[in-house]
Amino acid sequence: MGNDVVVKLDSNRDLKGFMECVNKLRGSAKAVQGDTIVDARSTLGIASMMVNGTFQLIMAPDNDKELFSKWRVG
């Protein structure tokens, strides 16, 4: 089973910090918003999801989702 967290980014500073954390992940990570799925390492993909609200980050099970607690929703 995967490891996931729902996040919301509100500013370019959030985006920068989020991308720094994504780059620390081991294995693949995907961002999902509705029917859209992008590689979480794609800054452009994450930025496009950011403007539409929350999205789900799905990462390999051996990653710590607490890395993303700053942006977690709910």
Q: Where are the beta strands (DSSP E) in 1-74?
A: 3-7, 29-33, 36-39, 55-59
What pLDDT is stored for residue 64 in this prediction? 92
| % of the chain surpassing 90 pLDDT | 92
What pLDDT is stored for residue 53 in this prediction? 96
What pLDDT is stored for residue 74 in this prediction? 76
Q: List the domains of the chain with CATH numbers.
A: 3-62 (3.30.1340.10)
Checking if the pLDDT of 2 tops 80, the result is: no
Instruction: Classify 59 as helix, strand or coil.
Output: strand
What pLDDT is stored for residue 1 in this prediction? 44
Give the up-direction half-sphere exposure of residue 17: CA atoms within 13 A in the CB hemisphere.
Answer: 13
Q: Which residue shows structure tokens 């999801």?
A: 49
**pLDDT (tens digit, 9 = 90+) per residue, 35-61?**
999 999 999 999 999 999 999 999 999
